[in-house]
Chains A and B, each alone.
Chain A
Amino acid sequence: MSYLFTTADEQQQMLQRIGVDSLQTLLDQIPAELQLKQPLDLPRALTELELEQHLRELSTRNASASSRACFMGGGAYDHFIPSVVDEITSRGEFYTAYTPYQAEASQGTLQAFFEFQSMIAELSGLDVANASLYDGGSGAAEAVLMAIRCTGRLGRVVVVGSTNPEYVHTLQTYLVNKSTELVVVPTPDGTVNLADLEAVINDQTACILVQHPNFFGCLEDVASIGKLAHQHGALLVQSFDPLSVGLLKRPGELGADIAVAEGQSLGTPLQFGGPYLGILTCRQQFVRKMPGRLIGQTVDRQGRRCFFLNLQAREQHIRREGATSNICTNQGLMALRATVYLSLLGPLGLKEVAELSCRKAHYAADRLCQVEGCERMFAGPFFKEFVLKYSLGADVAIRKAAAAGIDIGPALSRLPAMEGVSEADRDQCLLVAVTESRTKAEIDRLVTALS
Chain B
Amino acid sequence: MRNRQATQLLSELSHGGRRAAVFPPSDVPEWPIEDLLPSEALAAAPPALPELAEPDVVRHFVNLSTLNMSVDTHFYPLGSCTMKYNPKRHERLSRLPGIVDVHPHQTATNIQGLLELLYEMQQMLAEISGLPGVSLQPAAGAHGELTALYVAAAYFRAKGEHRTKVIFPASAHGTNPASAAMAGFECVELKETADGFVDLEQLKQHVDDQTAVFMITNPNTLGLFERDIPEIARIVHAAGGLVYIDGANMNAIMGITRPGDFGGDMMHYNVHKTFTGPHGAGGPGSGPICVRDFLAEYLPGPVIRVRPGDDRRFELVTPAHSIGRVRSFFGNVGILVRGYCYLRTLGAAGVRAAAEHAILNANYLKELLSDVLPSAHGEHCLHEFVASAERLAKERGINAMDIAKRLLDYGFHPPTVYFPLVVPHAMMFEPTETESKATLDAFSDAVHQIVQEEAETLRSAPLTLSVSRPEEVNATRKPVLTWTACTKD
Q: Report yes or no: B329 in contact with A166, Cβ–Cβ below 8 A.
A: yes
Q: Report yes or no: B282 in contact with A131, Cβ–Cβ below 8 A.
A: yes
Q: Report yes or no: A62 in contact with B102, Cβ–Cβ below 8 A.
A: yes
Q: Report yes or no: A4 in contact with B329, Cβ–Cβ below 8 A.
A: no
- Which residue of chain A is the closest to B87 with respect to CB atoms? A3
Tell me the A356-390 residues at the B interface (CB within 8 Å): 356, 358-360, 362-363, 381, 383
- Which residue of chain B is the closest to A41 with respect to CB atoms? B127
Decide if A451 is an interface residue (CB 8 Å cutoff).
no
Q: How large is the interface on B (under 10, 10 to 19, 20 to 34, 35 or more residues)?
A: 35 or more
* B282 → A minimal CB distance (Å): 3
* B423 → A minimal CB distance (Å): 15
Q: How far, in angstroms, from A315 to B117 measured CA to CA in the complex?
A: 35
Decide if A194 is an interface residue (CB 8 Å cutoff).
no
- Which residue of chain A is the closest to B88 with respect to CB atoms? A92
Contact (A41, B284) CB under 8 Å given A108-B68, A327-B142: no
Residues of chain B with a CB closer than 8 A to A55's CB: 93, 96, 99, 117, 341
Q: Report yes or no: B54 in contact with A84, Cβ–Cβ below 8 A.
A: yes
Residue in A10, A60, A343 whose Cβ sees the most chain B Cβ within 10 Å: A343
Residues of chain A with a CB closer than 8 A to B18's CB: 346
* A366 → B minimal CB distance (Å): 9
- Which residue of chain B is the closest to A25 with respect to CB atoms? B380
Residues of chain A with a CB closer than 8 A to B436's CB: 5-6, 10
Q: Report yes or no: A306 in contact with B347, Cβ–Cβ below 8 A.
A: no
Decide if B210 is an interface residue (CB 8 Å cutoff).
no
- Which residue of chain B is the closest to A115 with respect to CB atoms? B10
- Stretch of B27-35, B201-209, B391-399 lying at the A interface: B27-35
Tell me the A78-126 residues at the B interface (CB within 8 Å): 78, 80, 82, 84, 86-88, 90-109, 111-115, 117-119, 121-123, 125
Q: Report yes or no: B31 in contact with A315, Cβ–Cβ below 8 A.
A: no
Residues of chain B with a CB closer than 8 A to A131's CB: 282
- Stretch of B237-245, B288-296, B447-455, B461-469 lying at the A interface: B461-469
Residues of chain B with a CB closer than 8 A to A417's CB: none
Q: Report yes or no: B72 in contact with A176, Cβ–Cβ below 8 A.
A: no
Tell me the A331-374 residues at the B interface (CB within 8 Å): 331-334, 336, 340, 342-356, 358-360, 362-363
Decide if A45 is an interface residue (CB 8 Å cutoff).
yes
* B438 → A minimal CB distance (Å): 8
Q: Report yes or no: A96 in contact with B70, Cβ–Cβ below 8 A.
A: yes
Q: Report yes or no: B19 in contact with A45, Cβ–Cβ below 8 A.
A: no
Decide if B114 is an interface residue (CB 8 Å cutoff).
yes
Q: Which of A34, A64, A93 touches B230 (beta carbons < 8 Å)?
A: A34
Residues of chain A with a CB closer than 8 A to B381's CB: 29
Q: Report yes or no: A122 in contact with B47, Cβ–Cβ below 8 A.
A: yes
Q: How far, in angstroms, from A347 to B331 measured CA to CA in the complex?
A: 32
Residues of chain B with a CB closer than 8 A to A115's CB: 9-11, 483
Residues of chain A with a CB closer than 8 A to B40's CB: 223
Decide if A450 is an interface residue (CB 8 Å cutoff).
no
Decide if A40 is an interface residue (CB 8 Å cutoff).
yes
Contact (A332, B282) CB under 8 Å given A39-B348, A76-B104, A407-B106: yes
Q: Report yes or no: B178 in contact with A62, Cβ–Cβ below 8 A.
A: no
- Which residue of chain B is the closest to A28 with respect to CB atoms? B380
Decide if A74 is an interface residue (CB 8 Å cutoff).
yes
Contact (A138, B143) CB under 8 Å given A62-B112, A322-B181: yes
Q: Report yes or no: A253 in contact with B350, Cβ–Cβ below 8 A.
A: no
- Stretch of A167-175, A201-209, A229-237 lying at the B interface: A167-175
Tell me the A122-178 residues at the B interface (CB within 8 Å): 122-123, 125, 127-129, 131-132, 134-138, 145, 164, 166-167, 169-170, 172-174, 176-178
Decide if A195 is an interface residue (CB 8 Å cutoff).
no
Residues of chain B with a CB closer than 8 A to A448's CB: none
Decide if B50 is an interface residue (CB 8 Å cutoff).
yes
The 8 A CB mask of B97-138 against A (1 = contact, 0 = none) is 111111111110011111011001000100110000000000
* A117 → B minimal CB distance (Å): 6
Q: How far, in angstroms, from A172 to B322 measured CA to CA in the complex?
A: 12
Contact (A52, B89) CB under 8 Å given A170-B325, A173-B324, A328-B140: yes
Q: Report yes or no: A328 in contact with B174, Cβ–Cβ below 8 A.
A: yes
Decide if B5 is an interface residue (CB 8 Å cutoff).
no
Q: Which of B27, B327, B344 touches A440 (beta carbons < 8 Å)?
A: B27
Number of cross-chain contacts by CB at 8 Å: 712
Decide if A23 is an interface residue (CB 8 Å cutoff).
yes
Q: Report yes or no: B114 in contact with A42, Cβ–Cβ below 8 A.
A: no
- Which residue of chain B is the closest to A119 with respect to CB atoms? B49
Q: How far, in angstroms, from A41 to B330 measured CA to CA in the complex?
A: 26
* B10 → A minimal CB distance (Å): 5
Q: Report yes or no: B280 in contact with A332, Cβ–Cβ below 8 A.
A: yes
Residues of chain B with a CB closer than 8 A to A96's CB: 70-73, 86, 278-279
Residues of chain A with a CB closer than 8 A to B235's CB: none
The 8 A CB mask of B324-348 against A (1 = contact, 0 = none) is 1111111111110000010111111
Q: Report yes or no: B175 in contact with A328, Cβ–Cβ below 8 A.
A: yes
Residues of chain B with a CB closer than 8 A to A26's CB: 356, 359-360, 363, 380
- Which residue of chain B is the closest to A88 with respect to CB atoms? B61
Q: Report yes or no: A29 in contact with B224, Cβ–Cβ below 8 A.
A: yes
Q: How far, in angstroms, from A272 to B26 measured CA to CA in the complex?
A: 29
Residues of chain B with a CB closer than 8 A to A108's CB: 64-68
Residues of chain A with a CB closer than 8 A to B52's CB: 343-344, 346
Q: How far, in angstroms, from A272 to B118 measured CA to CA in the complex?
A: 11
Contact (A61, B112) CB under 8 Å given A328-B142, A332-B284: yes
Contact (A359, B26) CB under 8 Å given A4-B433, A311-B479, A407-B106: yes
Q: How far, in angstroms, from A60 to B98 measured CA to CA in the complex?
A: 6
Decide if A245 is an interface residue (CB 8 Å cutoff).
yes
The 8 A CB mask of B263-287 against A (1 = contact, 0 = none) is 0000000101000001111111111
Q: Report yes or no: B182 in contact with A325, Cβ–Cβ below 8 A.
A: yes
Decide if A392 is an interface residue (CB 8 Å cutoff).
no
Contact (A245, B47) CB under 8 Å given A95-B281, A108-B64, A270-B104: yes
Q: How far, in angstroms, from A42 to B275 measured CA to CA in the complex?
A: 14
Decide if B437 is an interface residue (CB 8 Å cutoff).
yes
Q: Report yes or no: B142 in contact with A352, Cβ–Cβ below 8 A.
A: no
Q: Which of B78, B86, B468 touches A301 (beta carbons < 8 Å)?
A: B468
Q: How far, in angstroms, from A113 to B141 measured CA to CA in the complex?
A: 22
* A110 → B minimal CB distance (Å): 9
* B161 → A minimal CB distance (Å): 13
Contact (A272, B104) CB under 8 Å given A6-B360, A135-B328, A344-B57: yes
- Which residue of chain A is the closest to B72 with respect to CB atoms? A92
Residues of chain B with a CB closer than 8 A to A325's CB: 178, 182
Residues of chain B with a CB closer than 8 A to A279's CB: none
- Which residue of chain A is the closest to B282 with respect to CB atoms? A332
* B224 → A minimal CB distance (Å): 7
Decide if B1 is an interface residue (CB 8 Å cutoff).
no
Residue in A74, A131, A246, A328 whose Cβ sees the most chain B Cβ within 10 Å: A328
Q: Report yes or no: A67 in contact with B49, Cβ–Cβ below 8 A.
A: no
Q: Report yes or no: A326 in contact with B175, Cβ–Cβ below 8 A.
A: yes
Decide if B305 is an interface residue (CB 8 Å cutoff).
no
Q: Report yes or no: A128 in contact with B354, Cβ–Cβ below 8 A.
A: no
Q: Report yes or no: B23 in contact with A247, Cβ–Cβ below 8 A.
A: no
Q: How far, in angstroms, from A402 to B107 measured CA to CA in the complex?
A: 11
Q: Report yes or no: A129 in contact with B66, Cβ–Cβ below 8 A.
A: no
* A170 → B minimal CB distance (Å): 5
Residue in A86, A100, A273 whose Cβ sees the most chain B Cβ within 10 Å: A273
Q: Report yes or no: A274 in contact with B334, Cβ–Cβ below 8 A.
A: yes
Q: Report yes or no: A62 in contact with B174, Cβ–Cβ below 8 A.
A: no
Residue in B47, B187, B382, B414 whose Cβ sees the most chain A Cβ within 10 Å: B47
Decide if B321 is an interface residue (CB 8 Å cutoff).
no
Contact (A67, B93) CB under 8 Å given A128-B482, A272-B330, A398-B107: no
* A103 → B minimal CB distance (Å): 5
- 11 pairs of residues in contact across A and B, judged by CB atoms under 8 Å: A30-B225, A42-B351, A78-B101, A98-B282, A103-B467, A134-B284, A271-B100, A274-B139, A310-B476, A326-B143, A331-B139
Seed contacts A30-B227, A40-B127; 6 additional CB < 8 Å A-B pairs: A2-B357, A26-B356, A82-B21, A118-B484, A176-B154, A343-B60
The 6 closest A-B pairs by CB, nearest first: A273-B329, A45-B347, A92-B72, A61-B113, A59-B98, A177-B184
